Amino acid sequence: MTIEKIVEQALQDGYLTPAMEAEVGRICDTASELSIEEYMALDRLMGALLTGKVVAVPRKQFINVMEELVLTEAIARVAEIESNGDNALDLGDIAAYALNRLPPLYATTEEGANFQRETAKGELSALISDQVQEAIARSLRQPDFYPERQTLQKKAEDSVLNQVKVLLEVHADKFEAAEQAS
């Protein structure tokens, strides 16, 4: 999808989804140079975001309570193992492995999250413990194939609004020069 199509869709819907934001970011990161049309589309998007005509949908309006339960269990187990030996374990890998084998427990309110926590502690604690233990065992058996891997990170400066602002600031003089030449 092109920047222009993404901006048109966002203007039509009134929303900029996380997927649309990621695609604009990917295009901007991989393009050696953006066209005048792409800059104009980004400018329209920036204006629409600033005026509220387009709303950036937050990445999360809900939580998966299973994530916190697995992380709590994994942190305790990993700390115990690392304190007793020379093994360094990747907490993210362990949590992801276990989470992929456990049911999600989503909630949109604090009350819902508390309900999910209590239900999971009563009905799923043994399963959570087993899956975390299996993830740790797998991690200990598996060699480090890709030491150059980059972990997922969310940087504050990666928001689409900030990316558009920086792009427009950096390339505004080129845009103005091209406008005057035409």
Given a contact cutoff of 8 angstroms between Cβ atoms, the answer to whether 119 and 156 are in contact is no
**According to the model, what pLDDT value does residue 19 have?**
82
Percent of the chain with pLDDT over 90: 45
Burial of 103 (0-12, 13-18, 19+ CB in 10 A): exposed
**According to the model, what pLDDT value does residue 70 have?**
95
> Which has more confidence, 46 or 177?
46
**According to the model, what pLDDT value does residue 171 have?**
62
Distance from C-alpha of 140 to C-alpha of 155, rounded to nearest angstrom: 30
Express each pLDDT in 55-71 by its tens digit: 888 777 788 999 999 99
Given a contact cutoff of 8 angstroms between Cβ atoms, the answer to whether 55 and 17 are in contact is no
Given a contact cutoff of 8 angstroms between Cβ atoms, the answer to whether 5 and 41 are in contact is no
**According to the model, what pLDDT value does residue 167 have?**
64
- Give me the chain's average pLDDT, please: 84
Does residue 117 have a pLDDT over 70? yes
Express each pLDDT in 68-103 by its tens digit: 999 999 988 988 888 887 777 888 899 999 999 999
Q: How confident is the model at residue 105 (pLDDT cuts 50, 70, 90)?
A: very high
Express each pLDDT in 131-181 by its tens digit: 999 999 998 887 666 666 666 665 555 566 666 666 666 666 655 555 566
Tell whether pTM > 0.75.
no
> Which has more confidence, 17 or 174?
17
3-state secondary structure of 180: helix
